[in-house]
């Protein structure tokens, strides 16, 4: 049995204290991150600078001693590597060239042609695998095909993913071809991260919640299953965390159906419900509301203890239900970690 707490939880072990890391733990709430990002010049330059990307990945480990570091990158590097134009607008987020038909899909690069663009990311992973503390797990990641597709179709984030829903209904062959291309590229990308030293990979489906019924199965569950199966065939034993955010009832059975070793949960479901319906199948990750990192106080302590208490009878990785926000107080993160590690209730 491995000594690393997160790998033990992912293998199905119930630990007396859950291991802990935090989505977007390298981010703008930290002054050291803001300094390094200023040094890089802009967000994409930071993603593609292996030394600086490794530095910001290491910063929250040095400050807090999290049980895992997650590679600093962005889910939209894959569409850029496939040939989409990508840029970031300050204060507004990412922008991409739009893709709405079969000729647009056919103009994308083949999935195995992404590695030249993404080589700096693999170098970041190699640096981290050397420099992280021996007890810290290194997590690689990618966006799930549906979520990545929503940005590629709309050219930006949208409140309801309407452009992608329109394309999947009105141009299903083109949309399915797009999902297939992203799926293949994601397998290639994560496989190279694993080869470079990632010990776990996570698939972020941030907009899975807007898929319902058969569409959820087809565009959230099936791609996650395909990616997980391909990675486990290439890298036997590699643990996979799946995060179909806001899936609701779709969380139930998602781990067994996809082959994922852990299902990450957002905070729209209660930890008690998730313990009953999702954790019975294996490891879960989550699911404290990220807003507590802003507001702090006794409510932070109480809700942190609630999450730990709800999941203490099965394998659990403590995390937020969403990425930490730029307005979070670093002291609240320290309080959360202290509460998790001192919980005896």
**Helix spans in 41-114 (H):** 43-47, 50-64, 77-81, 102-106
Contacts 24+ apart (CB under 8 A), 238-241: 238/194, 238/199, 238/200, 238/201, 239/7, 239/10, 239/11, 239/199, 239/200, 239/201, 240/200, 240/201, 240/202, 240/203, 241/10, 241/139, 241/200, 241/201, 241/202, 241/203, 241/285
Query: What are the φ/ψ torsions at residue 263 (nearest 5 degrees)?
Result: -110, 120
Q: Is 345 strand, coil or helix?
A: coil
Query: 171, 101 in Cβ contact below 8 A?
Result: yes
Domain interval for residue 272:
5-342
Q: How many domains does the chain have?
A: 1
Of these residues, 8, 24, 168, 245, which one is catalytic?
24
CA distance 229 to 231: 6
Of these residues, 8, 29, 33, 37, which one is catalytic?
37
- The per-residue pLDDT for 173 is 98
Mean pLDDT (10-residue bins), the chain, 345 residues = 87 97 98 97 96 98 98 98 94 93 97 97 98 98 98 96 98 98 98 98 98 98 98 98 98 98 98 98 98 98 98 98 98 98 92
Within its chain, how far is the Cα of 170 from the centroid? Answer: 29
CATH number at residue 337: 3.20.20.210
- The per-residue pLDDT for 214 is 98
**Active site (annotated) includes residue 116:** no
Side-chain half-sphere CA neighbours of 43 within 13 A? 18
Q: Which residues contact 91 (CB under 8 A, 6 or more apart)?
A: none
Of these residues, 33, 64, 151, 251, which one is catalytic?
151
> In residues, how long is the chain?
345
CA distance 53 to 45: 9
Query: What are the φ/ψ torsions at residue 52 (nearest 5 degrees)?
Result: -75, -35
- The per-residue pLDDT for 2 is 56
86-89 vs 93-96, strand pairing mode: antiparallel
Q: Is 284 strand, coil or helix?
A: strand
**Active site (annotated) includes residue 37:** yes
**Active site (annotated) includes residue 29:** no
**Active site (annotated) includes residue 74:** yes
Report the candidate in 275, 204, 231, 237 with the shortest Cα–Cα distance to residue 23: 204
Of these residues, 33, 48, 64, 74, which one is catalytic?
74
Q: Is 121 strand, coil or helix?
A: helix
CA distance 283 to 315: 5
């Amino acid at each position: 049995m491995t000594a690393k707490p997160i790998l033990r939880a992912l293998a199905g072990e119930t630990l007396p204290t859950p291991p802990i890391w935090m989505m977007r733990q390298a981010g703008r709430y930290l002054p050291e991150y803001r300094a390094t990002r200023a040094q890089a010049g802009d967000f994409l330059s930071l993603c593609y600078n292996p030394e600086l990307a490794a530095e910001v990945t290491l910063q929250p480990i040095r400050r807090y001693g999290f049980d895992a570091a997650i590679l600093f990158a962005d889910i939209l590097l894959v569409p850029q590597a496939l040939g989409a134009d990508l840029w970031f607008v300050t204060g507004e987020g990412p922008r991409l060239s739009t893709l709405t038909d079969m000729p647009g899909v056919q103009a994308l690069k083949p999935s195995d042609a992404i590695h030249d663009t993404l080589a700096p990311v693999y170098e970041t992973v190699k640096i981290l695998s050397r420099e992280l503390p021996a007890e810290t797990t290194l997590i690689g990641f990618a966006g799930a095909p549906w979520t990545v597709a929503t940005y590629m179709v709309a050219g930006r984030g949208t409140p309801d993913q309407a452009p992608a829903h329109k394309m999947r209904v009105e141009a299903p062959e083109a949309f399915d071809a797009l999902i297939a291309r992203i799926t293949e590229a994601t397998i290639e990308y994560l496989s190279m991260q694993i080869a470079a030293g990632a010990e776990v990979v996570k698939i972020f489906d941030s907009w899975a919640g807007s898929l319902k019924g058969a569409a959820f199965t087809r565009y959230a569950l099936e791609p996650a299953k395909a990616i997980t199966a391909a990675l486990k065939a290439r890298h036997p034993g590699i643990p996979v965390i799946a995060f179909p955010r806001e899936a609701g009832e779709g969380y139930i059975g998602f781990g067994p159906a996809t082959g994922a070793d852990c299902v990450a949960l957002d905070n729209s479901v209660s930890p008690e419900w998730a313990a009953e319906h999702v954790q019975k199948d294996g490891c879960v990750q989550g699911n404290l509301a990220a807003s507590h990192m802003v507001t702090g106080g006794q409510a932070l302590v109480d809700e942190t203890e609630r999450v730990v208490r709800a999941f203490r009878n099965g394998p659990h990785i403590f995390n937020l239900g969403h990425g930490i926000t730029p307005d979070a107080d670093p002291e609240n993160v320290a309080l959360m970690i202290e509460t998790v590690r001192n919980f005896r209730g």
